[in-house]
């Protein structure tokens, strides 16, 4: 089953075209690393998946739902329930505890009873290694811990696909591994994932596929082993020689 499909998707901000003719399909359970230089359009592509950025032409479908450039707010709300996203900044609600952050979406959006939401949140926070910190507030947690709460919070909505936009870029080096470890476990559990990352070793290890982007286009679409061993394009080679 295909979870995310882009067909000839383009995106402009005003006169500036940022994505050009993007086409790819992501089957269920696939882990895709999106890499490329700054400004290539990686974040915009991810944000088109959940329509935080609306595309200007082409077709996108997510979990079987077709999204046109002109679809309505109601369709976007439905779409976003299927897509979890984790950003560079953790964006936790500062006035809610770790477990409160994880319970909030299921209770308010999915109308889950509090007890059920709590049980699920406890299980998710255990999965990300935070059972000892359920009642702490974001301000009392390290960056790595906050990011793991953010991952648990996204998972609580039971998404069909998870998007990660440089989820470890704002972290102190010693906290990067704990977050990558959680992402790796999630990949192993069969979650469909699109990951924008500068962690090349990580992309190589956990990804099933690499999309290499330059100037708003997908320039290479390869298995990690072959991309990292020998990129097919000169731009790919130049990028890797700087990034590795």
Q: Catalog residues that contact ligand ADP under the rule CB under 6 A.
A: 13, 16, 18, 36, 38-44
CB closer to ligand ADP, 39 vs 64? 39
Q: Does 168 bind Mg ion (CB under 5 A)?
A: no
Shortest CB 215 distance to ligand ADP, Å: 9
Site for Mg ion in 115-134 (CB under 5 A): none
Shortest CB 1 distance to ligand ADP, Å: 28
Count of positions on this chain that bind Mg ion (CB under 5 A):
1
CB closer to ligand ADP, 102 vs 162? 162
Shortest CB 19 distance to ligand ADP, Å: 8
Shortest CB 43 distance to Mg ion, Å: 3
Q: With CB cut-offs between 5 and 8 Å by kind, which of ligand ADP, Mg ion, none does residue 55 bind? A: none
CA–centroid distance for 199 within its chain: 14
CB closer to ligand ADP, 60 vs 156? 60
CB closer to ligand ADP, 49 vs 141? 49
CB closer to ligand ADP, 41 vs 100? 41
Q: Does 197 bind Mg ion (CB under 5 A)?
A: no
């Amino acid at each position: 089953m295909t979870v995310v499909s882009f067909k000839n998707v383009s995106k402009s901000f005003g006169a500036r075209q940022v994505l050009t003719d993007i086409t790819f399909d992501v089957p269920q359970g696939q882990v895709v690393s999106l890499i490329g230089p700054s400004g290539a359009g990686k974040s915009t592509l991810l944000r088109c998946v959940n329509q935080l950025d609306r595309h200007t032409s082409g077709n996108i479908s997510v979990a079987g739902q077709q999204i046109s450039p002109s679809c309505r707010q109601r369709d976007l709300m439905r779409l976003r329930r299927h897509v979890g996203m984790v950003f560079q900044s953790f964006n936790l609600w500062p006035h809610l505890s770790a477990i409160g952050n994880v319970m909030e979406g299921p209770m308010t959006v999915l109308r889950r009873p509090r007890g059920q939401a709590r049980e699920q949140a406890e299980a998710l926070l255990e999965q990300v290694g935070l059972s000892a910190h359920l009642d702490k507030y974001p301000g009392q947690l390290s960056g790595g811990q906050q990011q793991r709460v953010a991952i648990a919070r996204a998972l609580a909505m039971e998404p069909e696909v998870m998007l990660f936009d440089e989820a470890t870029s704002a972290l102190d080096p010693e906290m990067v591994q704990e977050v990558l470890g959680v992402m790796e476990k999630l990949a192993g559990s069969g979650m469909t994932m699109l990951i924008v990352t500068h962690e090349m070793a990580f992309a190589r290890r956990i990804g099933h596929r690499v999309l290499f982007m330059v100037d708003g286009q997908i320039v290479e679409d390869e298995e990690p082993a072959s991309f990292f061993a020998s990129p097919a394009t000169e731009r790919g080679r130049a990028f890797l020689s700087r990034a590795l």
